[in-house]
Structure 1
Amino acid sequence: MTLKATLSEDMKEALRAKDSQRLSAIRMLRAAIQQREVDERRELSDGEVIGIVERLIRQRRESAAQYDAAGRPDLADKERFEIELLQQYLPQPLSEDQLQALIEEAVMASGAAGPQDMGRVMAALKPKIAGRADMGQVAARVKARLAGS
């Protein structure tokens, strides 16, 4: 079953359960997917849908931090709920060992010799870890690894 079909089923389930908070979050995700499909005039793949989910999670994290700083825990909690719900649609995250092994493999495959080759390593890694690890943290690890070589 595709990710979009899973979303539709989850939306129907939330409707039946009268879970308005969950329903609202799923509708927001479906609207973001549909908007991109309309803009690009084509059906999105699961990989592209995962990219949208990651972007929405990143936005929710930033919003929650801003709400906390502004003294609005009610709104921050809503954002955190949406983060938890959106994370259900991401693939299983990589363990530390798996991530380190993929970084080493990408460094060796790209023949990277130093920090100037970071772009090549990240380009090799991105398709393998999309949705399974925070790209910001991965970039920091790759940078540290290349600085040490």
Structure 2
Amino acid sequence: MFERIKNDMIKAMKEKDKFKLSVIRMIKASIDKERIDKKIEITDEVVIDVLAKELKTREESKLEFSKAGRTDLVEDLDKEIEIIKEYLPEPLSESEINEIIENAMKEVEASTIRDMGKVMKIITPKIKGRCDMKEVSNKIKAKLS
């Protein structure tokens, strides 16, 4: 996945697409920073984590800018979000998320809210970067309550 990002950066340079190039450079810099900070190898999982963080940041900024009436910045963020989403895996549907939650709950025999940590531990590697973890957490809480 990191190779794809580097190749797309070269492609954007050749096409002289300055906006896309700047977004891809930002993604690459964030991935490199993560690698250096944590002293780890770059894997697809690391790339997905970084992309998910960047996406979340952009979406939060978009909300703030729209509240402030800065439509010009909202439009730019929309474009950035679309570019970032190109690299993330396909998002999970509601039914897929529910199925994964149900399977994990059966696997650890979860029955109370105390079992939530066990369920999250099983679910997180399967769905990270493919859906909002806060939403998943709320669904698990609702099922265990």
Q: Same fold (TM over 0.5)?
A: yes
TM-align CA RMSD: 1.1
Matches within 5 A, 1:122-133: 122-133=120-131
Residue identity over aligned pairs, in percent, reads: 38
1:22 corresponds to which of 20, 23, 33:
20
1:10-42 superposed Cα distances (whole Å, 9 cap, x missing partner):
111111111111111000000001111122333
1:141 corresponds to which of 131, 134, 139:
139
Matches within 5 A, 1:45-60: 45-60=43-58
Matches within 5 A, 1:30-109: 30-109=28-107
- The offset of 1:79, in angstroms, is 1.3
TM-score by length of 2: 0.95
The alignment of Structure 1 onto Structure 2 pairs a total of residues equal to 145
Question: Once structures 1 and 2 are overlaid, which stretch shifts more, 71-80 or 23-32?
Answer: 71-80
1:110-138 superposed Cα distances (whole Å, 9 cap, x missing partner):
11111222111111100111121111111
Gaps in structure 2 of 5+ consecutive residues: none
TM-score by length of 1: 0.92
Give the corresponding residue for 1:12.
10
Q: Conserved in 1, the CA contact under 8 Å of 2:2 and 2:42? A: no
